[in-house]
Amino acid sequence: MTTDIQTEPERDERIGRPRVLERLVVRPEIGALIGAIVVFLFFSIVTDQFLTTGGVAVWLDDAATLGIMAVAVSLLMIGGEFDLSAGVMTASTALVTAIFAANVGLNLWVALLLSLLFALAVGLFNGVLVMRTGLPSFIITLGMFLALQGLNLGVTKAVTGTVQVSGVASAPGYESVGFFFASTFELFGTQFRVSILWWIAFTAVAALILVRTKPGNWIFAVGGAAQSARAVGVPLVGTKIALFMTTAFAGWLVGNINVLRFTTVQANQGIGLELQFIIGAVIGGCLLTGGFGSAVGAAVGALIFGMARQGIVFAGWDSDWFMLFLGVMLLAAVLVNNALRRRAERVRR
Amino acid sequence: MTGPTSPISQDVLLGVEQLSKSFGNVRALRDISLWLPRGQITALVGDNGAGKSTLVRVLSGVHQPDHGRVTFAGQPVRFADPQAARLAGIETVHQNLALVDELTVWQNLFLNRELVRRLGPFAVLDRGAMQVKAREMLARLSVNVPPVRAKVQRLSGGQRQAVAIARAAGWGSKLVIMDEPTAALGVQETARVEELIAGLRAEGMTILLISHNFEQVLRLADRVWVLRSGALAGGRLTTETTGEELVGLVTGAIAG
């Protein structure tokens, strides 16, 4: 073997060197980025408040908790699975923390830890069940969704006699825990929520893992071609279970950001949010079939959500219009992504 | 027992002795004994259901034999899983190639063998090094080189085969098992892949070739083993047999 590795091997004449624009266009998050710019410009022009620092703080805050979940769900979807229990999970984890802190009287840090253990156990259960049975995660996590929903209401009623848990603010440790999960920081004379920092950090870590580490490669492989991944020795089962647990972990983070901020939690919270997480991930470029997508794209998808939801409020419109907007946005994103992918595939031969 | 008698002086890389494997009532392999000379291309032929795939799966660690023994590089071996076979130096190119379409050529070559560099407490992918090494691995095959940064999805059938073979041959492996490497290819691409396989032998690689194409077997291989209904029907040197004889052994028209 005396091949000179410096010289570029002869290219197949049928495959031209991809141009910069073409490379950009096949990136999964490109559709979401364009959408975000359009929505941003639209509400910046239509409303006065949108572009003020106060306005920015509001829509970033709205996007933050959704964004954390959308990013986790995007990893799971790239890995080829769904989690319909993710929405209710944000309520369950909040309830566990609140009940242990306000009703049992534990230190909030301890309650937080128990809540984390609960979340990871649910994620592990989801993952193990999906991998053991080989059933679609859609159906397994639908079951978990219903079970958690019932558990949230049942346990809350049994413990408090009502459908909400409150009194977290008076629990020991609230000051220090609140600093991490529910404080604000000042920027340009405006108070921003700390949840925004969690969102940015979570997205950055997820994106780095996805495109710069071994497990990131494995996520694409198990979602895109499970049999091939298994054949070259990728730990398929472990990777997928870890993804379910990551989603549950994100549910824990978001649930506790919420409960520490509002200090009460409704037992029926979180229902329906799971679809918003999936929508955020899909707008961000994830395929429903797995193997393709982007964590940054999902964060941008959530940003579109936050901007639109609050932009509609700033504009003084009825919030019912948000659903229309959401539907149009989702369809537009899917159509654009589909067209770009077709184009990318046509270049193939 | 049929076939040439055991090689006494020949350098054998892999030997199989009286191997049997059943699935329930189905005896997929019955008392198979054969060997693969080092540095040669050995072909394995047989009709559908003759046991070729089962034998390959045993050799690559997917299945474990019920009876009999396998020796590899002079040592008795028993692979618990494909990873164990891979670590010992046996790579298999499956018929479906086991490539991930959405990943690039270099990502596929390095899937589960990624090169990493330390960045503080973290291990991050060394993409540059992997791309350079990937070019090196493909350039070694010298034919039909696909660009390493293209997604596998965009490659032609022959290029995909080249990537899969480059991966199998590129990790210090001693034996490469190829399951129907040209079954899905056109005439030109078949010729290129055959060139590639012959090139590997020229480098000293030992190859087990599963093929339905007897002309290809006679063209490429040094030795051929024929399976019929889970048993060995015969073994021949390709220089001493014909396509007709192979057909006879496969169908049972010749007793072996």
Query: What type of residue is B201?
Result: R
Q: Of B120, B136, B171, at which residue does a domain stop?
A: B171
CATH number at residue B22: 3.40.50.300
Looking at residues B103-115, what average pLDDT do you find? 90
B161 lies in the same domain as B213: no
Predicted pLDDT of residue B2 = 41
Number of helices (H), then strands (E), belonging to chain B: the values are 8, 12
Closest CA to B228 of B208, B214, B247: B247
Looking at residues B101-112, what average pLDDT do you find? 90
Q: How far is B52 from chain A (nearest CA, A)?
A: 18
Kindly determine whether residue A217 and residue B111, on different chains, have CB atoms separated by under 8 Å: yes
Are residues B29 and B58 in contact, defined by beta-carbon separation less than 8 angstroms?
yes
The residue with greater pLDDT, A68 or B256, is A68
B163 lies in the same domain as B128: yes
Are residues A163 and A267 in contact, defined by beta-carbon separation less than 8 angstroms?
yes
Q: B155-172 burial by CB neighbour count: b if 16+ within 10 A, else e? A: bbebbbbbbbbbbbbbee
Are residues A74 and A295 in contact, defined by beta-carbon separation less than 8 angstroms?
yes
The residue with greater pLDDT, B224 or A2, is B224
- Range(s) of the domain holding residue B109: 98-171
Nearest Cα residue in chain A from B60: A231
CA distances from A221 to A228, A296, B165 (A): 8, 19, 19
Q: Of B171, B195, B211, at which residue does a domain stop?
A: B171
B122 lies in the same domain as B192: no
User: Which SS3 state, helix, strand or coil, does residue A159 take?
Assistant: helix
| Domains in chain A with CATH codes | 29-338 (1.10.3470)
B84 lies in the same domain as B5: yes
Percent pLDDT > 70 in chain B is: 95
* Domains contained in chain B, number: 2
Predicted pLDDT of residue B193 = 85
Using only C-alpha atoms, what is the Rg of chain B? 19
Hey, of A2, A214, A286, which one would you mutate to test binding to chain B, going by the most B CBs within 10 A of its CB? A214
What is the C-alpha separation between B173 and B48, in angstroms, rounded?
A: 28
Strands (E), A116-267: 164-165, 184-187, 190-193, 265-266
B52-105 confidence digits (pLDDT tens)? 888 998 998 888 999 999 999 888 999 888 888 888 999 989 888 889 988 899
Closest CA to A63 of A310, A306, A278, A330: A306
Looking at residues B9-23, what average pLDDT do you find? 85
B103 lies in the same domain as B85: no
Predicted pLDDT of residue A26 = 67
Q: Tell me the pTM.
A: 0.85
B66 lies in the same domain as B182: yes
B64 lies in the same domain as B102: no
Q: What is the DSSP-derived secondary structure letter of residue A16?
A: P
B59 lies in the same domain as B128: no
Which pLDDT band holds residue B9 (cuts at 50, 70, 90)? very low
Strands (E), chain A: 164-165, 184-187, 190-193, 265-266
Q: How far is A222 from chain B (nearest CA, A)?
A: 9
What is the C-alpha separation between A94 and A263, in angstroms, rounded?
A: 10
Are residues B18 and B33 in contact, defined by beta-carbon separation less than 8 angstroms?
yes
CA distances from A319 to A274, A315, A316, A325 (A): 20, 10, 9, 10
Q: Of B136, B171, B206, at which residue does a domain stop?
A: B171
Lookup: tokens for B91: 């790579």
Hey, of B112, B140, B171, B192, which one would you mutate to test binding to chain A, going by the most A CBs within 10 A of its CB? B112
Percent pLDDT > 90 in chain B is: 23
What DSSP letter does each residue of A50-111 carry, written as one string?
Answer: TTSHHHHHHHHHHHHHHHHHHHHHHHHHHTT---TTHHHHHHHHHHHHHIIIIIS---HHHH
Looking at residues B108-136, what average pLDDT do you find? 87
A312-317: long-range contacts at Cβ-Cβ below 8 A with a sequence spacing of 24 or more?
Answer: A314/A43, A314/A47, A314/A48, A314/A49, A314/A50, A314/A55, A315/A43, A315/A46, A315/A47
Predicted pLDDT of residue A1 = 39
B104 lies in the same domain as B226: no
Predicted pLDDT of residue A346 = 57
Hey, of B90, B102, B133, which one would you mutate to test binding to chain A, going by the most A CBs within 10 A of its CB? B102
Kindly determine whether residue B86 and residue A15, on different chains, have CB atoms separated by under 8 Å: no
B79 lies in the same domain as B124: no
Predicted pLDDT of residue A8 = 43
Closest CA to A296 of A194, A223, A204: A204
Predicted pLDDT of residue A119 = 96
Helices of type H across chain B: 52-59, 82-88, 105-109, 127-141, 157-169, 187-202, 214-220, 243-251
B164 lies in the same domain as B196: no
Instruction: Enumerate residues 6+ apart whose C-beta is below 8 A from B151.
Output: B101, B102, B103, B104, B105
Looking at residues B125-153, what average pLDDT do you find? 83
B-facing residues of A in 18-37 (CB < 8 A) are: 18
Residues in chain A with pLDDT values less than 70: 1-26, 344-349
What is the C-alpha separation between B64 and B84, in angstroms, rounded?
A: 12
Strands B41-46 and B206-210: parallel
B65 lies in the same domain as B132: no
Are residues A67 and A200 in contact, defined by beta-carbon separation less than 8 angstroms?
no
Predicted pLDDT of residue A69 = 96
Predicted pLDDT of residue A175 = 84
Average pLDDT, chain B: 86
What is the C-alpha separation between B18 and B34, in angstroms, rounded?
A: 9
Lookup: tokens for B12: 């054998």
